[in-house]
Structure 1
C-alpha cells in the first residue's frame, strides 16, 4: 500500500519496522535467519523493517514467536491495525488529488510578511 514518504502513516510504519528490527536483534537473529524461521523470503524481512512493506498479522505473530517476544504481540498487532487505518484514511484523503492538500498552506502564505531562505549551494552577492 502506497503512502507519501512524509505521511504520518509511513512514519508509523517505519517506527513499527524499527521495533520489529529491535526484537530480531535482541533475539540474536540475522534477517536471513529470522526469515527462515518464519517461512518467508529474507527480503520481506528487510522491507518490513525499513517500512516499505506492511507486516501482516501472521507475520507479526510468527516474528514475535520466533524472537521469544510473545508478550509484545498484542501491542504490535494494535500498532499495525492503527497504521492500516491511517493508510486507508490517507488514501481517502488523497483520492480526489493533491490540490486540496496544497491549498491548505495558502492562508499561511498570505499571512506571511517576511520569508527568509538559506541556500547553502549558492554563492551570495559580491563573492560570485
Structure 2
C-alpha cells in the first residue's frame, strides 16, 4: 500500500529535525545556548527540533555554524528543501479537496489484484459502512483544513 504523501513529507521533515538535534547535542549545547548563538528565541530551536517549524536555509547555516559543523550545512539545506517540496506538493494536491484525491487513484484501484490491509486504528475501506466512511472522511478533511463536501 502506498505511503501517504503527507506522512512521507512529515517523515522527511522529522529526519532533518533529528539531524539538527544531533548536531546540537554532539556540540554539547542546550536548546537555550544554541538559540543564543543563533540570535533567536529558544522556542524556535524547539519548534525546529520537533519538526513543527521548517528551518530556512539561513537557519540551518546558522545552526551548523553554532555547532561548529559548517561542513554539514549544505547537505542539510538540500534535505530540508526536498522535504518542504514534498510538503508543498501534498498541500497543492489536497487544496482541491478529497474528491480529487480519491478520483486520482481510481485507475490504480481497478488494476489492483491483491489487497492486503492492516490497520490497528480504523476499519479497512472495503469493510466500512457508509456512515463510518463519511464520518472518517469528514474528520480527516477537518484535521487537514480542506473542503469536505467538494462535489
Query: Normalization by structure 2: what TM-score?
Result: 0.65
Greater Rg, structure 1 or structure 2? Answer: 1
Task: Quote the offset at 1:88 in angstroms.
Answer: 1.6
Task: Quote the offset at 1:92 in angstroms.
Answer: 1.4
Q: Corresponding residue for 1:62?
A: 62
Task: Quote the offset at 1:26 in angstroms.
Answer: 0.1
Q: Does 1:36 align with 2:57?
A: no
Q: Corresponding residue for 1:126?
A: none
Query: Normalization by structure 1: what TM-score?
Result: 0.75
Query: Runs (4+) of structure 1 moved beyond 3 Å?
Result: 100-108, 110-119
Q: Cα gap change, 1:116/1:52 in structure 2, threshold over 3 Å: closer, same or farther? A: closer
Task: Quote the offset at 1:91 in angstroms.
Answer: 1.4
5+ residue gaps, structure 2, are 122-151
Q: Cα gap change, 1:85/1:113 in structure 2, threshold over 3 Å: closer, same or farther? A: closer
Q: Corresponding residue for 2:130?
A: none
CA distance in 2 between partners of 1:114 and 1:12 (Å): 26
Task: Quote the offset at 1:84 in angstroms.
Answer: 1.8
Q: Corresponding residue for 1:24?
A: 24
Q: Cα gap change, 1:94/1:21 in structure 2, threshold over 3 Å: closer, same or farther? A: same
Task: Quote the offset at 1:99 in angstroms.
Answer: 2.8
Aligned length: 115
Q: Corresponding residue for 1:52?
A: 52
5+ residue gaps, structure 1, are 120-128
Q: Cα gap change, 1:81/1:115 in structure 2, threshold over 3 Å: closer, same or farther? A: closer
Of the structure 1 ranges 86-95 and 55-64, higher mean CA displacement relative to structure 2 is found in: 86-95
Deviations 1:23-56 (A, max 9, x none): 0000000001100110111111011011010001
